[in-house]
Amino acid sequence: MDEGPQTRLARSRSALGKYGARASLGGACATRSLLALLAAFLLLAPRLGAAQAPIATDRVASATAQATRNAAGIATLPAVATEQDIPHPLQVAPGVYVMLGNGDAVAPCNHGIVANSGFLVGTSGVVVVDTGSSYRYGRAMIETIHRVTPLPIELVILTHQAPEFVFGASAFRDAGIPILAHRRTAELIRERCSICLANLRRTLGEEEMSGSRVTVPDRTVDGTTRIEAGGRAIELLNFGVAATPGDLAVRDERTGVLFAGALVSIGRIPELRNESIHGWIAALDRLGGLEITKVVPGFGPVVGLERIGATGDYLRALDASVRRAYASGRGLVSAREHAETPDFRTWKLYSTVHPQNVQRVYLELERQ
């Protein structure tokens, strides 16, 4: 029986009191994820010794001096997470490295290392893309980069403001490295990230989050921009409000590798943060028309361009499922339980994030 718009609205507001809060960042780590990390370590360890291309003597001298200055700035900082906890860098193209998180929910057993990050090694320096969920992880990235190359870290780029990606930035700030993001992302970090940090402290503990703090980017862009950093030409792609209000995708012009940030999630349910999915789908469609060789998603394995369609497929299925539930007269509570996307039930966090996504789409329909 159709409840009518007023009745549905009243039921929805009542349900918000019960269901409106975000799911806890905690949760158990799957045994298979730990085994996967171990397997990845065993496979990738031999690559770490691969020699870098020869660098001119004067550049090495300059880079070594800068690296020494950077090291001096972090010499007295807290110890990092243990070596086995930090993802080893996977070289996916010449000079392009990825550090893969496990894609699970943040929990003590994974130290919050769930999202992907990476770095680009150019002719004169290094550009970092996203910094992980803690100061310790950011510090570990710095040390990992210095083991790969003597070149200085010149710039950090944050693709969006989600907590799994930004709190390592404080380690780079302490090393005197500039941090860049979209202007809207910088604003959201300033306005909201203190709450995210408190949540992470409760989930991971004070020791794990030691040194972590809200770090607002000191450089911003307002739209798609081309920059030169570290001797690499980089495109910062912005398609308007999509997965977040200030998404940037980072494309390395030399290799065509794209760091997609929040725009792409593979094997993990993407989180709808803006209560509207149409801008996100449009952004994915535009990415599909670019010259891209490999895609580093925010969560999940490195894939070819053809695989980014899976994120859009989920969003379309989500939208259609919620619209059917709404049109049939289901209230919010019932929609959360019955608006399913069966093809994506095996993706990580389906049981927690998918119902939240259903709620956001449902409430958007009520406001129309």
Given this model, what pLDDT does residue 83 score?
Answer: 60
Instruction: Compute CA distances 294 → 36, 205, 252, whole Å.
Output: 21, 36, 10
Mean pLDDT, to the nearest integer, of 344-359? 97
pLDDT in tens, 255-291: 999 999 999 999 999 999 875 799 999 999 999 999 9
d(CA 354, CA 352): 6
Mean pLDDT, to the nearest integer, of 110-138? 97
The answer, yes or no, to whether residue 49 has pLDDT greater than 60, is: no
Given this model, what pLDDT does residue 30 score?
Answer: 45
Given this model, what pLDDT does residue 85 score?
Answer: 72
Mean pLDDT, to the nearest integer, of 341-356? 97
Given this model, what pLDDT does residue 258 score?
Answer: 98
Given this model, what pLDDT does residue 47 score?
Answer: 41
- Comparing 46 with 261, the larger pLDDT belongs to 261
Given this model, what pLDDT does residue 82 score?
Answer: 60
d(CA 157, CA 148): 19
pLDDT in tens, 100-117: 999 999 999 999 999 999
Helix locations, 104-162, DSSP H: 135-148
- Comparing 135 with 11, the larger pLDDT belongs to 135
**DSSP letters for 198-259:** HHHHHHH-TTTTTT------SEEESS-EEEEETTEEEEEE--SSSSSTT--EEEETTT-EEE
pLDDT in tens, 75-94: 444 444 566 678 899 999 99
d(CA 92, CA 122): 14
- Comparing 10 with 307, the larger pLDDT belongs to 307
- Torsional sign, CA 215, 218, 219, 222: positive
Given this model, what pLDDT does residue 368 score?
Answer: 84
Q: Are 104 and 117 in contact (CB under 8 A)?
A: no
Domains and CATH numbers, the chain: 5-44+56-367 (3.60.15.10)
**Mean of per-residue pLDDT scores for the chain:** 84
